[in-house]
Amino acid sequence: MRHICRSLGLGIFWVVLSVAPTLASHGGDGTGPPPVIQPEVAQRLLEAGELVIFIDLRSAKEFQASRLPGARSIPFWDILKRYQEVPRVGRVILYCDCTATELQDPYRFLWEQGYRNLSVLQDGFAGWMMRGYPIER
């Protein structure tokens, strides 16, 4: 019994530890690097039934070919005129086929529009695929 409790305790600790950096970074001031969420954490949130909205900043053609589960397409160059389509509730995760730092401009723009529920996906679409997580076609 002690072994089961210890294993369960370590499992809970690991989940809290892996989510804590993402949660801690949600309260930033929008001027630093965007808060990053690891694909493993995003996948666990989806599995847990949390409201996660992926915003795919790749081209419409790339989006139609394959995308993250439930993703919405707002191509990078359209974010300035379509930003109001980004939900203000739930956890919004921006991604493209680029690095998290390349998403700093759209993240900062959305922050300036009052969005506080944003993070960016570490390793982008390629990282999600590399890990074998589900996609839609």
Place of tokens 């759209």: 106
What average pLDDT does the segment 101-111 reach? Answer: 94
Instruction: Catalogue all structural domains in the chain, each as residue range(s) with its CATH number.
Output: 2-130 (3.40.250.10)
pLDDT in tens, 19-69: 434 443 444 678 889 999 999 999 999 999 999 999 999 999 999 999 999
Confidence of residue 101 (pLDDT cuts 50, 70, 90): confident
Buried b (16+ CB within 10 A) or exposed e, 41-75: bbbebbeeeeebbbbbbbbeebbeeebbeebbbbb
On average, the pLDDT of the chain sits at: 84
Question: How far is 15 from 8, CA to CA, in rounded Å?
Answer: 11
DSSP 35: P
pLDDT in tens, 63-93: 999 999 999 999 999 999 999 999 999 999 9
Confidence of residue 117 (pLDDT cuts 50, 70, 90): very high
Q: How high is the pLDDT of residue 28?
A: 61
